Amino acid sequence: MDAINRAVTAFFNVVLTPLEAVGDEFALLFISGVFGVLALWIFKHISWQKGIKETKNKIKGHLIEIRLYQDDLAVVSKAIGKVLFRNLQYLLLNFGPFIPLAIPFALVAAQMVVRYGFEPAPVQHPTQLEAAGDGQTLVIEGTSEAIASLEVDLPEGLSAISPLVRIPSQGNAAIEFVAEKSGVHIVTIRSGGSEIEKKIAVGAESDLRAMQDRRVSSQFEAVLWPAEDTLAGTGLDVIRFRYPESDLGWLPLSGPFGVLMVFILASMVVGFIFLKPLGVQI
């Protein structure tokens, strides 16, 4: 999965560069629209278009039958049963092709979220903090053995404001820090002979194009968080902290959820516009 994510990330780095010169909002909408058209074209070629059209026509015919023979209870009852059966058939004919489409959808949607869903962590100074928890908290979860031997090395520009607290019995550890300098910082985590890195983007001068607030271990979660390799084989399950949510400017939604909703809605709207031009039955 890591190799696939690296390839997809490299592809979008190239594709999105000219689009982002216009604006992140434009890039998000453009890619969403293109995906909607491509998904529709793929759906046309992997679905049984003739069967979908015939099923829709049969549903219409049974509805007309109900209207014409509304005074005949026996005919109407049979027609209702046929409508329900054909609706189930219609759903199955449409649902089947959407299963393979879920894979490219997840890959593209995840890329949009890590690129446009977050903003770099703010630059802070310890004197600006009023209470514990006002800084950034790095949380690490894993096996008890991995947590027991855990060490965290913060680079220049990130300053610890609490000691590293390990709780091996619960499989987690945490350290609070502040980011005092803009840029992309690499936190080094050592455990059980493994050395793991976590990128942290800070301030306006950060040029990290794809940001995610966690590294994960499972292959399933790796689809959702593609910007950094998984933690497989390290004994750690997750390394996480919290990025601020992005502001999508003139778009009504923001943050990772907003990016996902814009991607879904824009791809659906553009796909609907191209239904007839592409001759797709859905």
- Report the pLDDT value the prediction gives residue 128, as an integer from 0 to 100: 64
Q: Is 248 part of a structural domain of the chain?
A: no
- Do residues 197 and 264 share a domain? no
Structural domains counted in the chain: 2
- Do residues 206 and 269 share a domain? no
Q: Is 142 part of a structural domain of the chain?
A: yes
Q: b/e string for 181-213 if b means 16 or more Cβ within 10 A?
A: ebbbbebebebeeeebebbbbbbeebebebbbb
- Do residues 67 and 108 share a domain? yes
- Do residues 88 and 28 share a domain? yes
Contact assessment for residue 178 and residue 159, using Cβ atoms and an 8 Å cutoff: yes
Query: Any idea what the Cα angle at residue 235 is, between residues 234 and 241, rounded to 5°?
Result: 85
Q: Is 232 part of a structural domain of the chain?
A: yes
- Do residues 22 and 78 share a domain? yes
- Count how many Cα atoms sit within 13 Å of the Cα of residue 35 in the half-sphere of its side chain: 25
- Report the pLDDT value the prediction gives residue 131, as an integer from 0 to 100: 56
Q: What is the pLDDT along the chain (282 residues), one digit of tens a residue?
A: 788 888 888 898 888 989 988 888 899 999 999 999 999 898 888 878 788 788 888 888 888 877 877 777 787 788 888 888 888 887 888 788 888 888 889 999 999 999 999 999 888 776 666 555 677 899 999 899 999 989 999 999 898 888 999 999 999 999 999 888 899 999 999 988 889 999 999 987 677 888 899 999 988 888 889 999 999 888 899 999 989 998 888 887 788 999 999 999 999 999 889 988 888 777
- Do residues 181 and 203 share a domain? yes
Helices 49-68 and 73-116 meet at what angle, rounded to 10? 140
Q: Is 249 part of a structural domain of the chain?
A: no
- Do residues 103 and 181 share a domain? no
Contact assessment for residue 116 and residue 259, using Cβ atoms and an 8 Å cutoff: yes
- Do residues 153 and 228 share a domain? yes
- Do residues 88 and 193 share a domain? no
- Report the pLDDT value the prediction gives residue 126, as an integer from 0 to 100: 67
- Do residues 136 and 212 share a domain? yes
- Report the pLDDT value the prediction gives residue 96, as an integer from 0 to 100: 81
- Report the pLDDT value the prediction gives residue 46, as an integer from 0 to 100: 86
Task: Give me the domain span that covers residue 233.
Answer: 126-240
Q: Is 247 part of a structural domain of the chain?
A: no
Antiparallel, parallel or unpaired: β 183-191 and 214-216: unpaired
Torsion angle in degrees (nearest 10) through CA of 140, 141, 142, 144? 90
Q: Is 246 part of a structural domain of the chain?
A: no
| 256 CB neighbour count, 10 Å cutoff | 20
DSSP notation for 27-78: HHHHHHHHHHHHHHHHHHHHS-HHHHHHHHHHHHHHHHHHHHTTT-HHHHHH
Q: Is 71 part of a structural domain of the chain?
A: yes
| DSSP designation for 228 | S
DSSP notation for 153-206: EPPTTEEESS--EEEGGGTEEEEEEEE-S-EEEEEEEEETTEEEEEEEEESTT-
Helices 73-116 and 2-20 meet at what angle, rounded to 10? 80
Q: Is 153 part of a structural domain of the chain?
A: yes
Could you tell me the CATH number of the domain that includes residue 227? 2.60.40.10
- Report the pLDDT value the prediction gives residue 110, as an integer from 0 to 100: 93
- Do residues 220 and 259 share a domain? no
CA distances from 120 to 88, 106, 154, 202, 262 (A): 47, 24, 17, 5, 21
- Report the pLDDT value the prediction gives residue 132, as an integer from 0 to 100: 59
- Do residues 73 and 171 share a domain? no
**Type of residue found at 182:** S
CA distances from 266 to 38, 60, 133, 252, 261 (A): 13, 30, 38, 13, 8
- Locus of tokens 């509304």: 70
Rounded Cα gap, residues 203 and 178, in angstroms: 12
- Report the pLDDT value the prediction gives residue 133, as an integer from 0 to 100: 61
